[in-house]
Amino acid sequence: MKIFEKVADVREFVTNAKRQGKVIGFVPTMGALHEGHLTLMREAKKQCDVVIVSIFVNPTQFGPNEDYAAYPRTWQQDLELCQSVGVDAVLHPDKDEMYPEDWGTWVEVEGLTGVLCGRSRPTHFRGVTTVVTKLFNIVQPDKAFFGQKDAQQVVVLMKMVRDLNMPLEIVVVPIVRDEDGLAKSSRNGYLTAEQRKAALVLRRALNRADVLARQGESNVDFIQSAVRACIELEPLADIDYVEAYTFPGLQPVTELQQKVLIAVAAKFGTTRLIDNIIIEPAGR
Amino acid sequence: MKIFEKVADVREFVTNAKRQGKVIGFVPTMGALHEGHLTLMREAKKQCDVVIVSIFVNPTQFGPNEDYAAYPRTWQQDLELCQSVGVDAVLHPDKDEMYPEDWGTWVEVEGLTGVLCGRSRPTHFRGVTTVVTKLFNIVQPDKAFFGQKDAQQVVVLMKMVRDLNMPLEIVVVPIVRDEDGLAKSSRNGYLTAEQRKAALVLRRALNRADVLARQGESNVDFIQSAVRACIELEPLADIDYVEAYTFPGLQPVTELQQKVLIAVAAKFGTTRLIDNIIIEPAGR
């Protein structure tokens, strides 16, 4: 497995692979790799000839009071995990390699970024779309793999790729969960045992939405309220949002007539977790 | 010569060319082609195996009171000119192909776009950087060719390419002038004979800056004032700006110690023209 710290070096690797006609798969990550990331990498291995993983804790997607400095960095373990699933190359640039001193060009998606996580993290998606554009230009993948867990991120990136005519396909991979149902996240490690147990309420609440939809409930406000009520029963959960939007359009919705994303975010102590489910009208 | 109206079709052409290892040159234009554009295409032919020209009057780089609707469109003549210099393919998408109804993703360069033309055309460069990003993603050129006449555009695009790690080189080609010295522009056709004669003052004024620099004048304010005074002698010239910045950094400058861009914009009737010169300290 190759390890690159410089953009120029990974570019050379990519150019050679492309010259040989290889299909390039790309999994951008911030490290602290878990089963969710590994699932993306395995899917990339299935669909592509060469798999490149980036490990870069991207400062521009963290707000001033967020956990950039504290974000878990587990470099040695990450490398071993990449190797274990057969990744071909890891790109691990430092901050200055990605953002030199006089850097300043942003990619911004309108319309989808002011809801859900974009409301409490107003500059987050601008940081994500910008760094992903940079990484796409560096790695030039044919396919890039993202997890459904960051549902809004997926929708925003798909719009960016379409709007800017980027020559690649975004592949979305379902949420990976621990046995107890908690969605895999690099931030789960912050949780105390008690908080972790409490956090299971998110999955329970989203399952409730699914059950209601399957039973024929089509009032989205009602479903949303039921999810909120379920989470409110957990005293350790501090709700950031419980929202419902059409998927993938992220438009407001009242009747369940198409795919609807129910997305939740809540804090357990200082740790903010997100989870989501996509529900459909009964009988589909 | 191939003519493409659909993004998918030009993509297929590009993919095939790349598969054969061809070096792709790209000249983005808004049509109304003149000798300046042809010079870019000839340079592209020299340096590349396959030359693609886009002809697209880009709505997002025009302000609400600017000349988008009136901008000259000379499609048949443009095609003949492209053919005459051996262009391999022309991309000529319509507005909906480039900007579908729910489109909304922007590329913005900070820091260089609030001066010169960016001051009187506040949304202009955002439109340029966005459409050029789209075209780069569609055409995937190895080299893209731009004229020095739009000096600020060149600087902004070079910063964009560097900041977003776009996998291509920007080649800058010197200003092409008519025999009388007027810089070639698609907007020159708007001028009356009298205005055209008056517009020659821009080149005369910029030459004055060059002469002063060669004579050892190093006070940039003084040089700038001399240029302005020269243009003010022409009653038909309505000055928008006469400005001086370091090149290519576009930073304020008082002493001529490095390359300095002297850039002017003025209206003749309703037609806004730009021109520029890069001066250097005497003895370099």
Evaluate whether residue B211 is within a structural domain.
yes
pLDDT given at position B105:
97
User: Does residue B28 sit in the same domain as residue B139?
Assistant: yes
Give the torsion sign (CA, A131, A137, A140, A142): positive
pLDDT score of B230 more than 70: yes
User: Does residue A15 sit in the same domain as residue A145?
Assistant: yes
Secondary structure (3-state) at A279: strand
The enclosing domain of A6 has a CATH number of 3.40.50.620
How far, in whole angstroms, is CA A194 from its chain's centroid? 25
How far, in whole angstroms, is CA B62 from its chain's centroid? 14
AA identity, residue A95: K
Backbone φ, ψ for residue B282 (5° rounding):
-55, 145
Torsion over CA of A93, A153, B109 and A96, rounded to 10 degrees?
Answer: -20
d(CA A104, CA A100): 9
User: Does residue B160 sit in the same domain as residue B238?
Assistant: no
pLDDT confidence band for B284 (50 / 70 / 90): low
ipTM score of complex:
0.92
Torsion over CA of A18, A20, A21 and A22, rounded to 10 degrees?
Answer: -70
Which among A105, A109, A111 has the least Cβ separation from residue B163? A105
Supply B94's token pair: 């319509």
d(CA B94, CA B54): 11
Torsion over CA of B18, B24, B30 and B36, rounded to 10 degrees?
Answer: -170
**Min Cα–Cα distance to chain B from A137, Å:** 5
User: Does residue B122 sit in the same domain as residue B26?
Assistant: yes
Evaluate whether residue B128 is within a structural domain.
yes
Q: What average pLDDT does the segment A7-32 reach?
A: 96
**DSSP summary character for residue A263:** E
Residue B37 appears among annotated catalytic residues: yes
Of A114, A146, A173, the one marking the end of a domain is A173
Nearest CA in chain A to B132: A164
Contacts of A106 in chain B (CB under 8 A): 107-108, 110
Contacts of B107 in chain A (CB under 8 A): 105-108, 164
Q: What average pLDDT does the segment A143-158 reach?
A: 95
Q: Percentage of residues in chain B with pLDDT exceeding 90?
A: 92
Range of the structural domain that residue A264 is part of? 186-276
Of A173, A200, A232, the one marking the end of a domain is A173
Q: Which residues on adjacent β-strands are paired with residue B170? A: B144
pLDDT score of A101 more than 80: yes
User: Does residue B163 sit in the same domain as residue B201?
Assistant: no
pTM above 0.90, yes or no: yes
User: Does residue A256 sit in the same domain as residue A224?
Assistant: yes
pLDDT given at position B119:
86
Q: Which residues on adjacent β-strands are paired with residue A172? A: A146
Evaluate whether residue B229 is within a structural domain.
yes
d(CA A1, CA A170): 24
Which residues of B make CB contacts under 8 Å with A?
7, 11, 19, 21, 102-111, 129-130, 133-134, 137-138, 140, 159-160, 163-167
Which has the minimum average pLDDT: A134-138, B64-68, B111-115? B111-115
Mean pLDDT, chain B, rounded, equals 96
Mean pLDDT, chain A, rounded, equals 96
CA distances from A141 to A217, A256, B138 (A): 42, 36, 15
Place of tokens 């501090």: A238
Q: What average pLDDT does the segment A25-40 reach?
A: 96
pLDDT score of A119 more than 90: no
Q: What average pLDDT does the segment A178-190 reach?
A: 94
d(CA A167, CA B247): 33
Contacts of B108 in chain A (CB under 8 A): 105-108
Place of tokens 């046995």: A179
Q: What average pLDDT does the segment A16-45 reach?
A: 96
Top residue of B56, B105, B162 to mutate, by most chain A CBs within 10 Å, is B105
Q: Is the CB of B160 less than 8 angstroms away from the CB of A109? A: no
Q: Is the CB of A106 less than 8 angstroms away from the CB of B111? A: no
Pair A115, A76: CB distance under 8 Å: no
Evaluate whether residue A202 is within a structural domain.
yes
Q: Is the CB of A164 less than 8 angstroms away from the CB of B129? A: no
Evaluate whether residue A180 is within a structural domain.
no
Evaluate whether residue A158 is within a structural domain.
yes
Evaluate whether residue A105 is within a structural domain.
yes
Q: Is the CB of B107 less than 8 angstroms away from the CB of A105? A: yes
User: Does residue B191 sit in the same domain as residue B169?
Assistant: no
CA distances from A259 to A220, A221, A243, A283 (A): 11, 15, 14, 13
**Angle CA A157–A159–A160, to nearest 5:** 60
Supply A121's token pair: 């993290």
Evaluate whether residue B97 is within a structural domain.
yes
Q: Which residues of A77-111 are buried (b: 16+ CB within 10 A; e: fewer)?
A: ebbebbeebebbbbbbbeeeebbeeebbbbbbbee
- The two beta strands, B24-29 and A24-29, are unpaired
User: Does residue A36 sit in the same domain as residue A168?
Assistant: yes
pLDDT given at position A45:
98
pLDDT score of A136 more than 80: yes
Secondary structure (3-state) at B256: coil
Q: Is the CB of B129 less than 8 angstroms away from the CB of A165? A: no
User: Does residue B11 sit in the same domain as residue B100?
Assistant: yes
Of B106, B140, B173, the one marking the end of a domain is B173
User: Does residue B95 sit in the same domain as residue B147?
Assistant: yes
Predicted confidence (pLDDT) per residue in A123-133, tens digit: 999 999 999 99
AA identity, residue B200: L
Number of neighbouring beta carbons within 10 Å of residue B157: 25
Contacts of B166 in chain A (CB under 8 A): 137
B67, HSE (Cβ side, Cα atoms, 13 Å): 12
pLDDT given at position A284:
67
Task: Give the number of domains in chain A.
Answer: 2
pLDDT score of B122 more than 90: no
Q: Which residues on adjacent β-strands are paired with residue A4? A: A91
Give the torsion sign (CA, B63, B65, B70, B71): negative
Which among B103, B111, B140 has the least Cβ separation from residue A167? B140
User: Does residue A146 sit in the same domain as residue A218?
Assistant: no
pLDDT given at position A122:
87
The enclosing domain of B270 has a CATH number of 3.30.1300.10
d(CA B90, CA B3): 5
User: Does residue B32 sit in the same domain as residue B119?
Assistant: yes
